[in-house]
Amino acid sequence: MFDLSLYVITDPYLSKGRSHREVVEKAIAGGATMIQLREKESTSLDFYRLAKEVVSATKKQGVPLIINDRVDIALAVDAEGIHVGQKDLPAPVVRKMIGKDKILGVSAGNIEEAKIAEKEGADYIGVGAVFSTATKSDARQAIGLERLQTVAKSVNIPAVAIGGINHDNVEAVIQSGVDGVAVVSAIVAAENIQKAAEEMKIFIDRSK
């Protein structure tokens, strides 16, 4: 069992010099229910060391840590799960590597991708980008709320919305029927991370 309500994704370029551990601890203190560690530029060794540091914080607080893309890192630090995109290792391969007890998330931008992800063993799908976002250089064109709702309702597994979600639009996103929101800059780049997470969680909870 896992709670996708407030799924916070790290970004070293938005953290304003704060460590990943500090960002994660403050986000969890503010109500984050799941953390994804995303690190595109680090060497494998640096990513491993970083993940070890972060997983000690998430396990202490009982919040699942999801590693983005890197199955080897997820297994090496015993993270709770892995999230892969459409250009990463196929879901069945990842599932075979991580076993049945780890959480597997798969990105989906349309109904076909969502249904395939479900069929291939994903535990949840990440749907987006909902709105335009600058936090991923390879993000696809924004799909909007109507298509988000259509994709999320096409499968029987939980869906978390991602892409351009902030305090101004989070209520509308939740009301589209998703199980939670994945947030990057609205929390990670905030001056007060804990407060930003607390406010976001309030919006989420009252919109369900």
Residue 38 catalytic?
yes
Catalytic entry in 5, 70, 107, 185: 107
Residue 70 catalytic?
no
Q: What is the distance between the alpha carbons of residues 6 and 169, in angstroms, rounded to a whole number?
A: 14
Q: How many helices and strands (H and E) does the chain possess?
A: 9, 8
Catalytic entry in 136, 147, 195, 201: 136
Residue 147 catalytic?
no
- Torsion angle of C-alpha atoms 186, 188, 193, 195, degrees rounded to 10: 20
What's the burial of 72, exposed, middle or buried (CB within 10 Å: 0-12/13-18/19+)?
middle
Instruction: Report whether the peptide linkage leading into residue 129 is cis, meaning its omega lies within 30 degrees of zero.
Output: yes
Q: What is the distance between the alpha carbons of residues 111 and 139, in angstroms, rounded to a whole number?
A: 17
Q: What is the distance between the alpha carbons of residues 208 and 190, in angstroms, rounded to a whole number?
A: 24
Q: Which residues of 100-110 are buried (b: 16+ CB within 10 A; e: fewer)?
A: eebbbbbbbbe
Catalytic entry in 5, 26, 38, 102: 38
Q: What is the distance between the alpha carbons of residues 195 and 55, in angstroms, rounded to a whole number?
A: 22
Q: What is the distance between the alpha carbons of residues 161 and 180, in angstroms, rounded to a whole number?
A: 6
- Give catalytic residue positions: 38, 107, 136
